[in-house]
Structure 1
């Protein structure tokens, strides 16, 4: 799915893009067996690790939209990793370690729960709120504000993220054959 943004995007449109992206993502993973979801790929990740990763980033965006600490909401150690890292590898590694020992059921529940939490956070916004910048929601983290409206951050951490991880998951599925 191509990431769709416009500066006139409404809450209804962003929610539709999220729903469409999630439906495509769930169509990909929904046909997989538990064995496929828990098999390790070449990089050591399982498909269930991708679910936990996406859920953690959605949890962070939900907190951000509520003007709570985005990175603390993502789990112990993520805020410190973000603060000291030059890229996303270190925080993503922290997220991986936080969830790697969870059962598939626990990860699926986490994914569903955090997604619903994110939708509730988005639904509490107005169309005008979607055009506010990151620093409006996280004034103590100005280094993250590139001036883009928050709707781009939402899209990048939802339907954009589903599409990104779908490519890796397809490669993992191909490896399993």
Structure 2
């Protein structure tokens, strides 16, 4: 081993396998117990802490603060402290911490000279080995025990991780997909990008199942192209494409024979699905409304085009049929009914759960039926009145984050619901 580049190569090859195995376990799976009694989240935090500590020791040695890399005699205490501070932490945060620690140690190794690497009888090599590739090897069996081996196991992980990603995307809404993410692209571009790479699995998975790789793709170029194309796609198209791509992966994995999958194939599926979801989950979560003021802002933003489209039809136009077959007055009655439902739930603190397609349809029909004899002008007045009550009720929820029962239901009764009818009302998204 003659240079830092050589040492980096030795570190990085097993790191990739270790990191991909952690990814394959999935974020929810990191909360499960390992064979040694820790959780996988503890194990990830443990690996991160030792890499971070080693990076700091390398810096001190390289900058002359320490003439030698002395051994440590507090291993048990250090490990116990790491586990203790990991309790209650989000698994996603711990994985980010691992990636940051690894990036730091890689940076420090890259700054070492050949003389420093071989000083004191190759002490640097020994320290790096013990806290990177040698450390990964110590936990290899423990980690890979939780990696999905068969199609059914992989499918379970996929579905488990898709649910929170899909739920967050749904709660974000269609209008917000044109907003810019913390990473600088739009949510449409980001979701289109996720859909594209899921769709790519159909081409590459057969290669991986045979233990080989297909042609190397220019990832940056593909991402840039996908981002550019997202500008011409509607929010509806983006979401439909995302769901279709996900279902395509489910179908692919479901069709696999019931035997162990080559890890080369598993890591591909993981990387393009639930590990990819986890990487972008934070971007979506950052845009979700949290406080009463956030929710009022979102309600008012989506209400304006919805209400304007109703106004444009006028009283006479409310009696005309929509593309879906009911009248625009029925649509208004139905929207008012769902707003009344969420206002009632927020005011009584009693939340209805267990909605099904049947009960939703019954609610819709009842909302329309009870307004059969209501005139167009009175129907509009009722819509505006219940909207004002909605805004007042949400504003009255106080400071701080809104109760999760409200945050997970009220949007579906209001602004997310209005967006569902934008196409009928001729509102572009």
1:36-55 aligned within 5 A: 36-55=29-48
Q: 1:56 to 1:170 in 2, by over 3 A?
A: same
- Name the SS of the counterpart of 1:59 in structure 2: helix
The answer for the alignment partner of 2:3 in structure 1 is 10
- Name the SS of the counterpart of 2:114 in structure 1: coil
Name which of structure 1's ranges 51-60 and 95-104 shifts more when overlaid on structure 2: 95-104
Q: In structure 2, how many angstroms separate the alpha carbons of the residues matched to 1:39 and 1:117?
A: 28
Q: In structure 2, how many angstroms separate the alpha carbons of the residues matched to 1:41 and 1:155?
A: 23
Structure 2 residue corresponding to 1:21, chosen from 10, 14, 20: 14
Name which of structure 1's ranges 39-48 and 17-26 shifts more when overlaid on structure 2: 39-48
User: CA deviation digits over 1:16-37, x for unaligned, max 9?
Assistant: 1111011111232222222222
Q: Which is bigger in relative contact order (C-alpha 8 A, separation at least 6)?
A: 1
Structure 1 residue corresponding to 2:107, chosen from 109, 115, 120: 120
Structure 1 residue corresponding to 2:54, chosen from 53, 61, 66: 61
Shift of 1:112: 0.7
Q: What TM-score, normalized to structure 1?
A: 0.69
Q: Is the 8 A contact 2:52 2:104 kept in 1?
A: yes
Q: Is the 8 A contact 2:35 2:142 kept in 1?
A: no
Q: 1:123 to 1:42 in 2, by over 3 A?
A: closer
Larger radius of gyration: 2
1:107 aligns with 2:94: yes
User: CA deviation digits over 1:117-140, x for unaligned, max 9?
Assistant: 11111111111111123xxxxxxx
The answer for the alignment partner of 1:149 in structure 2 is 123
Name which of structure 1's ranges 17-26 and 89-98 shifts more when overlaid on structure 2: 89-98
Q: In structure 2, how many angstroms separate the alpha carbons of the residues matched to 1:114 and 1:43?
A: 23
Q: In structure 2, how many angstroms separate the alpha carbons of the residues matched to 1:173 and 1:115?
A: 21
Structure 2 residue corresponding to 1:165, chosen from 108, 118, 139: 139
User: CA deviation digits over 1:32-70, x for unaligned, max 9?
Assistant: 2222221123543111211110110011111101117xx
Stretches of structure 1 that go unaligned for 5 or more consecutive residues are 1-7, 69-81, 134-146
- Name the SS of the counterpart of 2:20 in structure 1: helix
Q: In structure 1, how many angstroms separate the alpha carbons of the residues matched to 2:81 and 2:12?
A: 28
Q: In structure 1, how many angstroms separate the alpha carbons of the residues matched to 2:112 and 2:6?
A: 13
Q: In structure 1, how many angstroms separate the alpha carbons of the residues matched to 2:140 and 2:21?
A: 8
Q: In structure 2, how many angstroms separate the alpha carbons of the residues matched to 1:22 and 1:15?
A: 10
Q: Say which structure is richer in helix.
A: 2
Q: In structure 2, how many angstroms separate the alpha carbons of the residues matched to 1:130 and 1:47?
A: 32
Q: Is the 8 A contact 1:58 1:158 kept in 2?
A: yes
Stretches of structure 2 that go unaligned for 5 or more consecutive residues are 62-71, 154-429
The answer for the alignment partner of 1:137 in structure 2 is none
Shift of 1:101: 2.5
Give the aligned CA root-mean-square deviation in angstroms. Answer: 2.2
